[in-house]
Chains A and B, each alone.
Chain A
Amino acid sequence: MKTRYSFGGDEHVFVECDEEMSLQAFFKGLSITNAVRESKIKGVTEICPANASFQIKFDPDLISPDDMMAELKRLEVGASKGVSSIRTRIIEVPVLYNDPWTHETLMRFRERHQDPNSTDIEYAARINNLETVENFIKAHSGSPWFVSMVGFVAGLPFLYQMVERGRQIEAPKYLRPRTDTPKLTVGHGGCFSCIYSVRGAGGYQMFGVTPMPIYDPSQSISYLKDFMIIFKPGDIVKWRPIDRPEYDQIVADVDAGKFVPRIREVNFSLEEFERNIDGYNKKLQETLYGH
């Protein structure tokens, strides 16, 4: 894992912790960005951790780009031991897989897809050797996912599947991006799943929708009153497959201000997770559903 530094114009330093995705690369970026935040370097205006990289925006009138880069390299050395355990949250996200809205949308954009003769979820099931859509849903919802980045559009989480690499679901993005994606679509591209926080363009495969809003600029939804965005990097997500009646019920509950997402505080330790992935995930689930 070799860190690569580059300037993004005269106002950004872009740092790639690793070319490929891993939780180690994410935690390396988290350690350094935490150190940047704590060191309160003059001129820093944005600190943006991403999946396996991060970006610092600064005001070159206040700190020279070379000094900014040198500060970051110095902080990297200090952060080399780094954080690998965090206090975080596990959040349950109900999903209606194979829903009518993403189905209608994916049919409209079939000519932009690798396999025009099947649906996105059928295609993803096949190329991941999962044979049936039922098996695919089991694999997708069976393990927790780690929020390794928030962005693209407001509040959209990128989710990294917490299983061994050989079992991680992978799927290419559409050949050409769609101009439309329903709000709250659960999508997937490369090794990442995501939840589209707003309606708009997108290139990820579409598997379903959640009835649980994750972004509310009007801050009228009960659980988004304090802040308009639910997810933060480091959160853990557990998908829960639901049927249409439950989907409709949750939508009604959200509208009535009665829906409360299931969220529990947890510690996450990368070492412990890697020592026994399935056992660790089981414990996470017990925390989510236990007393």
Chain B
Amino acid sequence: MAIKVVSPGLSTTVQDLGRPGYYHIGIPLSGAMDQAALAAANLLVGNDEGAAGLEVVFMGPELEFTAPAIVAVTGGEIPPKVNGLPCETWTSFSVKSGDVLSFDFLKAGARAYIAVAGGIDVPVVLGSRSTYTLGALGGHEGRKLQADDVLPVGTQPSKARAGRSLDQKLRRKSSNPAELRMLPGLYWHRITAEAGKHFLSDTWKVAPEADRIGYRFKGGKPLEFVPRTPPFGAGSDPSNIVDACYPYGSIQVPSGTEPIVLHRDAVSGGGYFMVGAVISADMDLIAQLQPHMPARFVAVDMPTALAARKDMNVHAAAVRAALQS
């Protein structure tokens, strides 16, 4: 069983839940940017949550199946069609040998996830099938899909069936404007109190440079720095630090102008200061932000971040319970 790529879409990659454990040598987490959406897609088709699927950005691919399969599409609203006829999202459906899965224009969000019963069976590299394109690692030949690629699919699990659907209440919707909760810290002390205030009160807009490495934001006032003598090795710009590790989710602001939130394919370190990090519960939301969408950073404390994470875990458990029947 395999999938033939008729047309690849804008930037379709093989992703599972990621490749932790190698950040110390510059290999990022990778994996689905919207982790919950991929996990749900997998559960809908009877896979383990962490099976490899396809991450679709803005514009869907056209895929031909060489054998019957069970498929589900979740995440942002990029409506799927089989042989031109519309299918439900967040619901598993069956395809026959020779059927073509294609997509309508993006309606909401930014990234959809395609799961196939059995999972995309590319080789496991450093514990994961995820694609890290910058490092040409994992996935299908270390890159986004191209026309004529052929993707192997694993053995269909016994739990696979069509017509399994996730209750509307359990489908996570993104808000507009996006509110990204963040924990101030790291090098927050480098900016003035005034700059800290407007960083949080300004409405930013997602910049066109928004990808798996990071999401850039524009439109807020530049940040003013607390004066200093540059520490040896840091560099002369007030936003420079001695090159350090960048947390996943950290918000760096090169030269104090445009914040960048690092995501699954993060550069693992560098010489720009960071004002803090987006809380883990809100990282999936970033995956569904479109360029030009308004966004705000909302400062929270650690107990709030942990409570939000607990809510996320409760939600994931509810999805699991609903779909593993």
Binding site for B on A (CB under 8 A): 6-12, 14, 16, 18-22, 45-55, 57, 60-61, 64-66, 149-156, 158, 160, 165, 172-173, 189-192, 197-198, 200, 215, 217, 228-229, 231-232
Q: How far, in whole Å, are A54 and B268 apart by their CA atoms in the complex? A: 12
Select which of B136, B237, B302 is within 8 A of A10 by beta carbon.
B302
Size of B's binding interface in residues, CB under 8 A: 51
- Interchain CB contact under 8 A, B26 and A153: yes
With a CB–CB cut-off of 8 A, which chain B residues contact A172?
235-237
Interface contacts beyond A10-B305, A190-B235: sample of 10 additional A-B pairs, CB < 8 Å, sorted by A: A7-B277, A11-B280, A14-B185, A19-B231, A20-B242, A51-B244, A52-B244, A64-B306, A153-B26, A155-B25
Interface residues of B in 293-312 (CB under 8 A from A): 302, 305-306, 309
With contacts A150-B26, A198-B135, A200-B134 taken as known, whether A9 is within 8 angstroms of B249 at the C-beta atoms is: yes
Closest B-chain residue to A19, C-beta based? B231
- Interchain CB contact under 8 A, B25 and A50: no
With contacts A16-B244, A47-B24 taken as known, whether A9 is within 8 angstroms of B183 at the C-beta atoms is: yes
- Interchain CB contact under 8 A, B21 and A45: yes
With contacts A9-B305, A10-B305, A46-B21 taken as known, whether A153 is within 8 angstroms of B135 at the C-beta atoms is: yes
Q: How far, in whole Å, are A49 and B269 apart by their CA atoms in the complex? A: 11
With a CB–CB cut-off of 8 A, which chain B residues contact A66?
302
The contact sample of 21 A-B pairs, CB cut-off 8 A, is A7-B185, A9-B183, A9-B247, A9-B278, A10-B309, A11-B247, A12-B248, A12-B250, A14-B244, A21-B232, A49-B24, A50-B269, A151-B24, A151-B25, A152-B269, A153-B134, A172-B237, A173-B271, A190-B235, A192-B243, A197-B26
With a CB–CB cut-off of 8 A, which chain B residues contact A54?
245
- Interchain CB contact under 8 A, A21 and B242: yes
With a CB–CB cut-off of 8 A, which chain A residues contact B248?
9, 11-12, 57
Q: How far, in whole Å, are A57 and B250 apart by their CA atoms in the complex? A: 12
Q: Tell me how many residue pairs across A and B have CB atoms closer than 8 Å.
A: 183
With a CB–CB cut-off of 8 A, which chain A residues contact B23?
46, 48, 57, 151
B270 at the interface (CB under 8 A from A): yes
- Interchain CB contact under 8 A, A9 and B280: yes
Q: How far, in whole Å, are A21 and B240 apart by their CA atoms in the complex? A: 13
Select which of A16, A20, A155 is within 8 A of B26 by beta carbon.
A155
Q: Enumerate the 8 nearest inter-chain pairs by beta-carbon distance, A residue then B residue, closest first.
A: A21-B233, A8-B247, A9-B277, A20-B231, A55-B245, A151-B268, A154-B135, A151-B26
With contacts A46-B24, A149-B243 taken as known, whether A9 is within 8 angstroms of B279 at the C-beta atoms is: yes
Contact with A along B249-269 (1 / 0, CB 8 A): 110000000000000000111
Question: Closest approach, in angstroms, between the C-beta of B181 and any C-beta of chain A?
Answer: 10
Q: Is the interface of B mostly helix, strand, loop or mixed?
A: mixed
- Interchain CB contact under 8 A, B125 and A65: no
- Interchain CB contact under 8 A, B243 and A158: yes
Select which of A8, A19, A165 is within 8 A of B277 by beta carbon.
A8
With a CB–CB cut-off of 8 A, which chain A residues contact B132?
154
B313 at the interface (CB under 8 A from A): yes
Contact with A along B136-172 (1 / 0, CB 8 A): 1110001000000000000000000000000000000
With a CB–CB cut-off of 8 A, which chain A residues contact B271?
173, 189-190
Q: How far, in whole Å, are A47 and B244 apart by their CA atoms in the complex? A: 13
B68 at the interface (CB under 8 A from A): no
- Interchain CB contact under 8 A, A61 and B309: yes
Closest A-chain residue to B267, C-beta based? A152
- Interchain CB contact under 8 A, A50 and B244: yes
With a CB–CB cut-off of 8 A, which chain B residues contact A52?
233, 242, 244
Q: How far, in whole Å, are A247 and B253 apart by their CA atoms in the complex? A: 39
Question: Closest approach, in angstroms, between the C-beta of A191 and any C-beta of chain B?
Answer: 4
Q: How far, in whole Å, are A55 and B246 apart by their CA atoms in the complex? A: 8
- Interchain CB contact under 8 A, A60 and B242: no
Q: How far, in whole Å, are A10 and B21 apart by their CA atoms in the complex? A: 18
B276 at the interface (CB under 8 A from A): yes
Closest B-chain residue to A54, C-beta based? B245
- Interchain CB contact under 8 A, A9 and B276: yes
Question: Closest approach, in angstroms, between the C-beta of B270 and any C-beta of chain A?
Answer: 6
Q: How far, in whole Å, are A53 and B236 apart by their CA atoms in the complex? A: 19
With a CB–CB cut-off of 8 A, which chain A residues contact B115?
none
Q: How far, in whole Å, are A192 and B234 apart by their CA atoms in the complex? A: 9
Contact with A along B170-185 (1 / 0, CB 8 A): 0000000000001101
With a CB–CB cut-off of 8 A, which chain A residues contact B250?
8-9, 12
B110 at the interface (CB under 8 A from A): no
B86 at the interface (CB under 8 A from A): no
With a CB–CB cut-off of 8 A, which chain A residues contact B269?
48, 50, 149, 151-152
With contacts A60-B306, A149-B269, A192-B243 taken as known, whether A10 is within 8 angstroms of B183 at the C-beta atoms is: yes
- Interchain CB contact under 8 A, B233 and A192: yes
Question: Closest approach, in angstroms, between the C-beta of A12 and any C-beta of chain B?
Answer: 4
Q: How far, in whole Å, are A151 and B135 apart by their CA atoms in the complex? A: 12
Question: Closest approach, in angstroms, between the C-beta of A104 and any C-beta of chain B?
Answer: 22
With a CB–CB cut-off of 8 A, which chain B residues contact A6?
185-186
With a CB–CB cut-off of 8 A, which chain A residues contact B183?
7-10
Q: How far, in whole Å, are A189 and B278 apart by their CA atoms in the complex? A: 28
With a CB–CB cut-off of 8 A, which chain A residues contact B278?
9
